[in-house]
Amino acid sequence: MKRELSRQAVDFIQDAAIERLLKETRADDGRLREILAKSLELKALTPEETAVLIAAARPDQVEVIFETARELKRRVYGNRIVLFAPLYVGNLCVNDCVYCAFRRSNPVQVRRTLALEELREQVRALERRGHKRLILVFGEHEQYSPEFIAECVRTVYAVREGHGEIRRLNINAAPFDHEGFRIIKSAGIGTYQIFQETYHHATYREMHPAGTRKGDYLWRLDALSRAMEAGCDDVGIGALFGLYDWRFEVIGLVTHAVHLMEKYRVGPHTISFPRLRPAAGVHRSWPRLVSDDDFLRVIAILRVSVPYTGLILTAREPPAFRRRAMAFGVSQIDAGSRIELGGYTEAGDAQVMEREQFELGDIRPLDVVMRELIEDGYLPSFCTACYRLGRTGEHFMEFAIPGFIKRFCTPNALTTLVEYLVDYATPETRAAGEKAIERELAQLPDSPQKEELKRRLQRIRESNDRDLYF
């Protein structure tokens, strides 16, 4: 079945065409202005238009792209930043990816799969910290079948700790066939996320040895198409920056987004762009590592090229850089993250490299990250309303592309922030958060919805009422 589906897959990534595009495209100032104006109308760009942004390397051109990205962030998402945490369920793996500590030939990796009670304990620990949104992460192995993943999803949703509950559960796992995706979707997942890692065919072959499951480029490239055909209408794409030329990977991501939109009328719900990090047992040089300055360009160009999608900046990045990069179009981050198996109850202040896939750059507690976001003028959000009200897939695009989503996002961000402040925050964070809420309310126009929002915020503060979303 896998081989047959791979043969049927469409390879929409044409390396030679992308390389030629990158080589021949010039950044004429007039053309650049036209493209940025199109993006500000909340229209997704073509790969050819994205190539112009990549070619625009003069400082003044880069700055106008940065400003457009900041403006799009304000228009589509406001100052809202959605928070989540990763939860690794198992690191058994049949693949041998050369950059990954989970690869099957790595002798230093401590192998483990959480039992269901261990999974519950991790979720309780996360709920005690205030998390409402998680992504479950699995290695690629026979043990992690669609049925097993679905059982883990149902287990997580059933856990309650005080006022804590997980309201949205996303998945990062291996590709499956249509039936596998249907089984997982039936458990009530949010986004299904699969990274191509690198869109460049030769580099993909070098990084993912033949004879392994992940060695099949087309099986992986077609995975999110199968997922959407099976009913998973929220999907996440991503590339691991540092494996190949960052410019090629940006075009690859945009091409993938265009393919999904043209074929299914729904683009990716999220785009991720992690950079390579040190990993236990990985010893090789990486000549394609992306500098901080170029990485800021990556973020801004993706925001401008795919204005409707969520951009995820992970805890791979150190705190100072995350703080710097936030303004260039980021809409989601993970916080309070630990990626060791059992890390939320068993890990101390230092990371245990032999028990994690890669080294994190930011392991600060959620409360610290929340307070920093608030002090920097952002609105932290644990909102899951769109997912639970059916505003997903094509329906989400109808809201997100015109920018109307802000009508729902700000009020729902405020109710989830008050929940966090009342139930979990330190006194310092609560004081900062209440000031931020006053600021946000003052900026909302007077309306019946605003008065209802005030009433709901007060109900959360004064009673056990929770989850009062619009």
Instruction: Give the range of the structural domain holding residue 363, as residue numbers without chain letter.
Output: 2-11+73-400
Position 395 confidence tier, pLDDT thresholds 50, 70, 90: low
**155 shares a domain with 85:** yes
What pLDDT shows up at residue 463?
A: 95
Look at the chain and report how many structural domains it folds into.
Answer: 2
User: Which residue do the tokens 């990534």 mark?
Assistant: 13
**122 shares a domain with 142:** yes
pLDDT at 61 exceeding the cut of 80: yes
**For 376-447, where are the alpha helices, taking DSSP H only?**
385-388, 393-400, 406-423, 427-443
Distance, in Å, from the CA atom of 27 to the CA atom of 58, rounded to the nearest integer, reads 9
Position 2 confidence tier, pLDDT thresholds 50, 70, 90: low
**Range 175-190 average pLDDT:** 97
Q: Which residues of 407-436 are buried (b: 16+ CB within 10 A; e: fewer)?
A: ebbbbbbbbbbbbbbbebbeeebbebbbeb
Nearest in space to 273 (alpha carbons), one of 260, 254, 258: 254
**419 shares a domain with 391:** no
| Greatest C-alpha distance within the chain | 63
Percent of the chain with pLDDT over 70: 95
**437 shares a domain with 358:** no
Domain assignment present for 266: yes
pLDDT in tens, 352-384: 999 999 999 999 999 999 999 999 999 999 998
C-beta of residue 359 within 8 angstroms of C-beta of residue 420: no
**234 shares a domain with 204:** yes
Write down which residue in 349, 376, 400 finishes a domain: 400
**Range 196-213 average pLDDT:** 97
What pLDDT shows up at residue 396?
A: 64
pLDDT at 65 exceeding the cut of 80: yes
**224 shares a domain with 96:** yes
Percent of the chain with pLDDT over 90: 90
**164 shares a domain with 147:** yes
Domain assignment present for 374: yes
Taking the whole predicted model, whether its pTM rises above 0.85 is answered as yes
**236 shares a domain with 213:** yes
Distance, in Å, from the CA atom of 50 to the CA atom of 112, rounded to the nearest integer, reads 42
- State both tokens at 235: 């999907």
**360 shares a domain with 308:** yes
**443 shares a domain with 344:** no
Distance, in Å, from the CA atom of 246 to the CA atom of 280, rounded to the nearest integer, reads 24
Position 448 confidence tier, pLDDT thresholds 50, 70, 90: very high
Phi then psi dihedrals of residue 441, to 5 deg: -65, -40
Write down which residue in 400, 428, 449 finishes a domain: 400
Domain assignment present for 309: yes
What pLDDT shows up at residue 389?
A: 77
What pLDDT shows up at residue 408?
A: 80
**454 shares a domain with 307:** no
Domain assignment present for 42: no
CATH number at residue 388: 3.20.20.70
**393 shares a domain with 310:** yes
